[in-house]
Amino acid sequence: MDYSTFLNNDPLLRAGLTAAAVIFVDLCALVILIAASRERRHGDRRWAQESRGLMLVCGDTAYPLGAAEIVIGRHPSADIRFRDSEISRFHAILTLSGGSWQIEDLSGNGVTVNGKRIEAPCILRRNDVIGIGRRKLTVMRGKKG
Amino acid sequence: MAKQTAPADNAPQLDVSAPRSMRTAGRLTSVLIAAFLVGLFYLAYVLVSRSKFYMSKTGSTGYGTVYDRAGDVLFDGTKAMSSYPAGQFADVGNFIGDASGQMSNTLVSRNLSALANYNFLYGKEQGKVSLRTTLSHQVNKAVHWKLGKKNGTVIACNWKTGELLCCVSKPNFDPARGYENLASLPEGSLLCKAFYPIVPGSTQKVSTLAAAYEKLGAEVVNRLQFSCTGTWLNAKRQAIKCHEEKGHGTETLSQAFRNSCNPYFAQLIQSKELPLSSVIDTYTRMGYSVNGSKADTMTLDGITIAPASTKLTDANDFDTQWGCLGQGSTLVSPYQLMLWECAIANGTGTAQKPYLISSRTDVDGRYTPVHSAGKTGSFFSADTAKAIQAVMTENAKTQYSASLGKYKCGVKSGTAQVEQNGKAYENSLLTGFCLDDRCPVAFCVVIEERVSGELSTAQLTKTLLDALSGIS
Amino acid sequence: MKKSLSHPFLLLLILIAHAVMLLLVIMRFGITPEAVQLSGAVLLFDFIGFIFLQFVHREACTVDSVLLLVLGMSTIYQSCFGGLTFAKKHFIFAVSAFLICQFTYLLVRNPYRAEKLKPLWYLMFFVLVGAIFFLTGSRGIWIDLGFITLQPSEFVKPVFVLICASSIRTQLHKKTVLGFHYVPDNLALLICTAVIAGLQWYCRDLGSLPTFAAVAGCGLLLRFRYLREKISLRLVIFLCLCAAGAAVAAWQLAPAYVQERLHSDIWSDMSGSGYQQVKALTAIAEGGWFGKGAGNGTLINVAASRTDIVFSAICEEWGLFTGLMTVILVLFLPASLLTVPPRSYYHSGLAVGVAAVFMVQMTLNVFGSCNLIPFTGVTIPFISQGGSSMLSSGILAGFLKAAQAPVLTGGNSAGEAEGGR
């Protein structure tokens, strides 16, 4: 079975088939895009699982823990920012590792967990209260929507 | 992971959005991607818009077809030229040309990009490019055949519309035969002589007459009389000889024109009434490069035609007088001679610019007709044009009634003495127009190295007009 | 990935797209052994990839599906240039790249662990640099192992990306020497950049210098960005001036052969230095929108048609549409970063580094071969022929995957399940 001459002598057919191939590849690209947008939701779910669904609550404000490293401080680039004068620019860092969150004092200006000042990285559990300056942050599990 | 314990009352809605700092990576990447995409689309644009240029560098571009006015093929880039009947292109080879690049001043060579049968969608050879020309292949063949073994050139156009109808130059070259024997081809085979300046001989007297009419007016000039005794000595005691050894005696302008009397016209140039500056003036308007002044190169659908040139320094000098008689340093292309005849035939002093391409079909099959190439500048006044027309018509009536009697013509003959490669010979010229509605054409006919008794320019012109009145 | 139908559907569609392309090949060449081998290999790869992604490993499917699609397409392209010959070697490397992507993912999916291994990355970096410096022939860039020739400079890229990425904790770790504050990690990066630049200069392999410069630039930019809300205008101007100064200096000081490339006009030297580009451009023009058809290309006779001017080779046979589509598909890999943001600083550094490598390589290759910028001999990831390039691109894709689906359980001394307490 040899279609070679058939295909080579009909440029229109060749163009049409090439176009068909391109269209299928395009279709793939489109579906990849759709899949990617679903993956964003999947990524969020996945992260909720990885991060134990925890958030920090300070008064009425809830702070998401959306990355494996969360810096608390006065500096504009801090993820959780308090403009209090007694809080250092990079005061403390929350890290997610080994399946649990821990907090570390970066500045030496003092971080308390449940009222006790921490000296070394301290693993956080639900309903722990972190004290930074005069701020009190409660570790809470977010309600799943 | 599901925990059974009920969340505290004040538990917030779960939010896992990534902090701002994590989005930096995304932003940076999107900037990179956006820049790349912009570049990519620009690239696509460049590639598509320059693809014709790229193709021209491959040397394998396919070209379209050139047709004559009746649809006969003059050039075919889509298949081998040798597949056509022998002699199909023999009369138009050095005029229409081919895509080989061997003949640069031809229609095909000058319109290669318009003929390139390529576009980005269809690829190399799927286009529908063609050019329709005003040329009549039938007339061309007839004239070419009539020239027989003689060399020469014939060019004719419709003076009403500017359509170029016939153009032959011998020796010719048949592109279908290929270029293997290039060295053995006769000299001048690869160019169309109608577009290159030659010695005009007495056809130059038309220009000189135009200069006189422009300065003095027809009535005065027509009454001027000079005598010819065969040889006339000018102010510098240099001899101007007449072809009639015994001389023509005292003549009027009309008689002198008919007799093509050199002494008469030399005396006209030398006369005080006609200052040389006014001759230079008229010549310049007509498109001559006088004494090296700049004159515009003419084009015919891309084919270039060098302007006429002459040297006029002193009205009393032999060289200047000889130049005004069409010898010496005066050179005019047959194309330009024909162009002036157009301006005379229509009686306005301004010609319709000749054109060759009557319609273009592009690669997608879009058809664009061409109706005119516009007008030339004014060569001389309408009065002058009408006066010259009268003199030339009179000339044709009295001198050429035998051959051209059935046409209402105006003509001027010329014999150009040429010396080339140490060999002196005479070229016979005839330039003029036909006023008949059957064939309103202006023409210039040149037969090289003509000796008495052979085919005459008038006979060739009759062939031309006969063929033309059949088609138009 | 729960209840999502799009995943199997997508994989099915990839299979169909490959099948249509293969159909085109078979219609052109008939059912020859080569065609059967090619179709079998590509479709089998798709099928096994499908099974693997559907039932074994379902994380970061965007990267994997783009990889499957692109690798299959590139195998078909490479097999068809100038006539049908199943590109076995290319196919094996394509499969290896897919596998190595998964392995790399496993290795770096935990950002802490990946960063803890940084001394190892530095070690690998210097081993590779040393290998290039000592092992490759006189200023050549290849190591011949007999059965396979390796291009160590390709493998420097992923290692360099690993070095460029940095976590915020590392960035906050400052040292002071003589009153001068510095971050050791940044200093190390600068040293590595200088080393690689010096090596490229020594090797006369300036083509890949922009890639490294872009990775280092992006890495440094991210590092500055993390600790500042706004980059001050002064810093931007300063950085721009530095970059411009470096560019001008490089332009002026570049060796003669580079100068020649920068200033040559390819159309005036069509048979000399401009030969490849002239052929590449005319091939694109001859191909048009829909190409001459698979296997009908003539570019195969030009040097580097499968690598440096592969874009033109694809355009000639498959058309400019397909060529552009292919390039854009490869672009989907770094673009996946836009849908799922990274969740750690180290991973975002990796992802941006990979994006920089891919973008710069494609820019240099595609625009260089089309004469918009000076022509350099770099490859398009996953499309160009070349084992080293394929494998290192696979490693880079693994980094992207890791950034999309990080794993933070385990690998840490303090690792304990929350419910355990």
- Containing B416, the helix (H) or strand (E) segment is strand B409-420
Q: Please say whether the dihedral angle defined by the alpha carbons of residues C61, C67, C68 and C73, taken in this order, is positive or negative.
A: positive
Any idea how long chain C is?
Answer: 421
Residue C321: list chain A partners with CB under 8 A: 18-19, 22
Residue B19: list chain A partners with CB under 8 A: 64, 66-67, 70, 79
What letter does residue B198 receive in the DSSP assignment? B
Q: Look at residue C166 and give its three-state secondary structure.
A: coil
Q: How far is CA C303 from the centre of its chain?
A: 22
The residues that bridge with A72 in the sheet, in sequence order, are: A80, A92
**pLDDT band, very low/low/confident/very high, at C412 (cuts 50, 70, 90):** very low
Gap from A44 CA to chain B (nearest CA, Å):
6
Range name among B111-120, C257-266, C339-348, C355-364 with the lowest pLDDT average:
C257-266
In this prediction, residue C419 carries a pLDDT of: 35
More confidently predicted of A34 and B291: B291
Q: Kind of pairing, strands B152-158 and B441-447? A: antiparallel
In this prediction, residue B82 carries a pLDDT of: 83
More confidently predicted of C143 and C180: C180
Q: State whether residue C168 sits within 8 Å of chain A by CB.
A: yes
- The full DSSP string for B2-30 is ---SPPPTTPPBP--PPPHHHHHHHHHHH
Q: Kind of pairing, strands B298-300 and B239-241? A: unpaired
Q: Kind of pairing, strands A80-81 and A69-73? A: parallel
Structure-block tokens of residue C196: 């690689």
Q: Name which of B29, B40, B58 is nearest C337 (Cβ-Cβ).
A: B29
Phi, psi of C408 (to 5 degrees): -115, 5
Structure-block tokens of residue C312: 């033109």
Using an 8 Å Cβ cutoff, are C266 and C282 in contact?
A: no
Structure-block tokens of residue B368: 């664009």
In this prediction, residue B67 carries a pLDDT of: 93
Q: State whether residue A106 sits within 8 Å of chain C by CB.
A: yes
The 3 state secondary structure assigned to A82-111 is CCCCCCCCCCEEEEEECCEEEEEECCCCCE
Residue of B9, B14, B17, B33 to mutate, interface with A, max A Cβ within 10 Å = B14
Spatial CA neighbour of C185 closest among C345, C22, C331, C9: C345
The residues that bridge with A63 in the sheet, in sequence order, are: A56
Average pLDDT over residues B317-345: 92
Structure-block tokens of residue B338: 């024909």
Question: What pTM value is reported for the model?
Answer: 0.74
Average pLDDT over residues B83-112: 87
Phi, psi of B58 (to 5 degrees): -80, -25
Q: Which residues contact A118 (CB under 8 A, 6 or more apart)?
A: A103, A104, A105, A111, A112
Q: How far is CA B334 from the centre of its chain?
A: 9
What whole-number distance in Å separates Cα of residue C114 and Cα of residue C420? Answer: 26
* The pLDDT of residue B1 is above 50: no
Average pLDDT over residues B158-180: 89
Structure-block tokens of residue C373: 């910028």
Average pLDDT over residues C182-205: 83
Q: Which residues contact B322 (CB under 8 A, 6 or more apart)?
A: B240, B266, B328
In this prediction, residue C123 carries a pLDDT of: 93
Q: State whether residue C142 sits within 8 Å of chain A by CB.
A: no
Residues of B near C (CB-CB distance < 8 A)?
18, 21-26, 28-30, 32-33, 36-37, 39-40, 42-44, 46-48, 50-52, 54-55, 57-58, 118-124
Q: What is the pLDDT of residues B385-413, one digit of tens each?
A: 999 999 999 999 988 888 888 899 999 99
Q: What is the pLDDT of residues B100-141, one digit of tens each?
A: 878 889 999 888 888 887 777 766 656 788 899 999 999 999
Gap from C205 CA to chain A (nearest CA, Å):
35
Residues of chain C by 3-state class (helix, strand, coil), percent to 5:
70, 0, 30
Q: State whether residue C406 sits within 8 Å of chain A by CB.
A: yes
In this prediction, residue C416 carries a pLDDT of: 37
In this prediction, residue B23 carries a pLDDT of: 80
- List helix spans (H) across chain A: 4-9, 11-50
Using an 8 Å Cβ cutoff, are B292 and B164 in contact?
A: no
Using an 8 Å Cβ cutoff, are A17 and C321 in contact?
A: no
Q: Name the amino acid, one letter, at B284.
A: T
Q: What is the pLDDT of residues C312-338, one digit of tens each?
A: 999 988 889 889 989 999 999 998 888
Gap from B123 CA to chain A (nearest CA, Å):
9
Q: Kind of pairing, strands A69-73 and A92-97? A: antiparallel
What whole-number distance in Å separates Cα of residue B220 and Cα of residue B201? Answer: 25
Place of tokens 């084919």: B303
Place of tokens 């990690």: C185
Structure-block tokens of residue B370: 């061409």
Q: State whether residue B59 sits within 8 Å of chain A by CB.
A: no
Q: Name which of A15, A50, A76 is nearest C408 (Cβ-Cβ).
A: A50
Taking CB atoms and an 8 Å limit, are B32 and C356 in contact across chains?
yes
Using an 8 Å Cβ cutoff, are B164 and B357 in contact?
A: no
Q: State whether residue A58 sits within 8 Å of chain B by CB.
A: no
What whole-number distance in Å separates Cα of residue B45 and Cα of residue B54? Answer: 14
Taking CB atoms and an 8 Å limit, are C27 and A7 in contact across chains?
yes
Q: What is the pLDDT of residues B222-238, one digit of tens each?
A: 888 898 888 888 888 88
Q: What is the pLDDT of residues C151-161, one digit of tens each?
A: 888 888 999 99
Using an 8 Å Cβ cutoff, are C354 and C334 in contact?
A: yes
What whole-number distance in Å separates Cα of residue C376 and Cα of residue A9? Answer: 37
Percent of chain C at pLDDT above 70? 87
Q: Look at residue B168 and give its three-state secondary structure.
A: strand
Q: Name the amino acid, one letter, at A70.
A: I
What whole-number distance in Å separates Cα of residue C368 and Cα of residue C274? Answer: 12
* The pLDDT of residue A25 is above 50: yes
Q: What is the pLDDT of residues A74-113, one digit of tens each?
A: 888 788 888 888 888 888 988 887 778 889 888 888 889 9
What whole-number distance in Å separates Cα of residue B326 and Cα of residue B207? Answer: 9
What whole-number distance in Å separates Cα of residue B287 and Cα of residue B380? Answer: 11
Taking CB atoms and an 8 Å limit, are B43 and C366 in contact across chains?
yes
Average pLDDT, chain C: 82
Using an 8 Å Cβ cutoff, are B43 and B36 in contact?
A: no
Q: State whether residue A18 sits within 8 Å of chain C by CB.
A: yes
What whole-number distance in Å separates Cα of residue B211 and Cα of residue C52? Answer: 96
What whole-number distance in Å separates Cα of residue A24 and Cα of residue A11? Answer: 20
